[in-house]
């Protein structure tokens, strides 16, 4: 599951409460409290991925800082975008 509430502004309600993987896209709106809320759900793996936007470097730094404070979460990167592939 990859919820993106920051891009949907409350238009969708989270229904899935567990599964194999949960991935959050990190921008300025994802913080320690958000991670703790998702950690309470029943997922096996948790991933954080920096938002690919004009301020990617800031999102990447924020993602690395969050991963370092929350050991259940692992860094995920969109390699195809980093390499410029479609």
Average per-residue pLDDT in the chain? Answer: 88
Asked if residue 12 has pLDDT above 70, the reply is no
Q: What is the pLDDT of residue 2?
A: 77
Residues 6+ apart with CB under 8 A from 41: 17, 18, 22
Within a 13 Å sphere around the CA of 11, how many CA atoms are in the beta-carbon half?
Answer: 5
Q: What is the pLDDT of residue 57?
A: 95
DSSP 31-57: -HHHHHHHHTSEEEEEEEEE--STTHH
What percent of the chain has a predicted confidence (pLDDT) above 90? 63
40-80: pLDDT as tens digits: 999 999 999 999 989 999 999 999 999 999 999 999 998 88
């Amino acid at each position: 599951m990859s919820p993106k509430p920051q891009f949907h502004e409350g238009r969708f309600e989270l229904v899935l409460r567990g599964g194999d993987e949960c991935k959050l896209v990190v921008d300025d709106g994802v913080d320690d409290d958000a991670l703790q809320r998702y950690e309470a759900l029943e997922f096996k793996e948790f991933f954080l991925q920096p938002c690919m936007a004009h301020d990617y470097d800031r999102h990447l730094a924020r993602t690395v800082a969050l991963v370092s404070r929350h050991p259940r979460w692992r860094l995920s990167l969109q390699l195809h975008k980093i390499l410029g592939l479609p």
